[in-house]
Amino acid sequence: MEKKDLRIVYMGTPEFAVESLKRLVEGGYNVVAVITMPDKPMGRHGSVLQPSPVKQYAVSQGLKVLQPEKLKDEAFIGELQSLHADLQIVVAFRMLPEVVWAMPRLGTFNLHASLLPQYRGAAPINWAVINGETETGITTFFLKHEIDTGEIIDQVRIPIADTDDVGVVYDKLMRLGGDLVLKTVDAILDGNVKTVPQESVPLSGELHPAPKIFKETCRIDWTQGTKRIYDFIRGLSPYPGAWTEFHVGETVSTLKLFETQKIFADHALEPGAFVTDGKSYLHIATSDGYLNVLSLQFAGKKRMGIADFMKGYRHSADAFVR
């Protein structure tokens, strides 16, 4: 079978999923439909509906778009069956019921942004950086009942530099994901797929989960070590952002930190205490040193560099974060 004859249904929602879809379309593959999340209510009263990045791209290419509220809805299942897909591809979508993922004759494969079986879950890129990993990657695997546990088709590894934040790693994996999706589709077309059970993949340590990240997940614990907090901040930068409470006297504000540098040093300060010249630098004490803050953002304000912050900040002896 030629790639133009292979009927593909593509499922995805965020920007991360656009790259792989774009590569399929530009590569001449036969994408018969795109399935994405319903438009999201936006604005003060939810009166404006915002289409997903995947929908925006699909519409621009004249592709058929389905946006089911429920994946077990009979009308949706019927429409999906009518497409007679040979293969389904899932990139950053939702957990699929068996009636959906088992439908195509060649199966359904998922692109996941980690080196499975490590970092199963909704936020694999964030957690890999938060945990100070020096390597991550992407994996394609066939879906089965338990989430992110199907047999591995292929993987690509990349290093994580100590200065990389989530935005940098995200962009790298997004581009590599496009390559790997096409490579996986071609292998399936050619009948050259040799899958590997995740249980047989050798591990150098314990399995790390990658659960969904909530606001409270992002709060900085200043009693931890410098390296741990540094990794935590870059693992949430630029989005959703690690935050802390900024205290000056009785005034408490929410402050997000995006870029920092590690300084290891002995001191007798309480974690969260400030060390600053009031002009050009701000160091925040940790359990074993300081973090030199380079960029930050107050709630409701724009992100700024430390020099701009210092122009409007008047140092107070009782200022600290916690």
What residues are designated binding site for (6S)-5,6,7,8-tetrahydrofolate? Answer: 114-117
Round to whole Å and give the CA distance between 242 and 237. 7
Whether 96 and 107 have beta carbons less than 8 Å apart is answered as no
Task: With CA atoms as reference, report the closest residue to 106 among 90, 86, 89.
Answer: 86
Q: Give the residue ranges of DSSP H helices in 150-220.
A: 166-190
Q: How far is CA 277 from CA 257, 270, 311, in A?
A: 19, 18, 12
Q: How far apart are CA 233 and CA 280, in angstroms?
A: 21
H or E element that contains 276:
strand 274-276
> What is the DSSP secondary structure assignment for residue 278, as one 8-state letter?
S
Closest to 110 measured CA to CA, from 66, 173, 154, 55:
154
Cα(240)–Cα(117) distance, integer angstroms: 25
Q: Which two tokens stand for residue 241?
A: 């952002």
Binding residue ranges: 114-117
CA 29/CA 5 separation, integer angstroms = 8
Return d(Cα 37, Cα 109) in angstroms, integer. 18
Residue pair 295/259 in contact (Cβ under 8 Å)? The answer is yes
Of 98, 102, 85, 107, give the one whose Cα is nearest residue 35.
Answer: 85
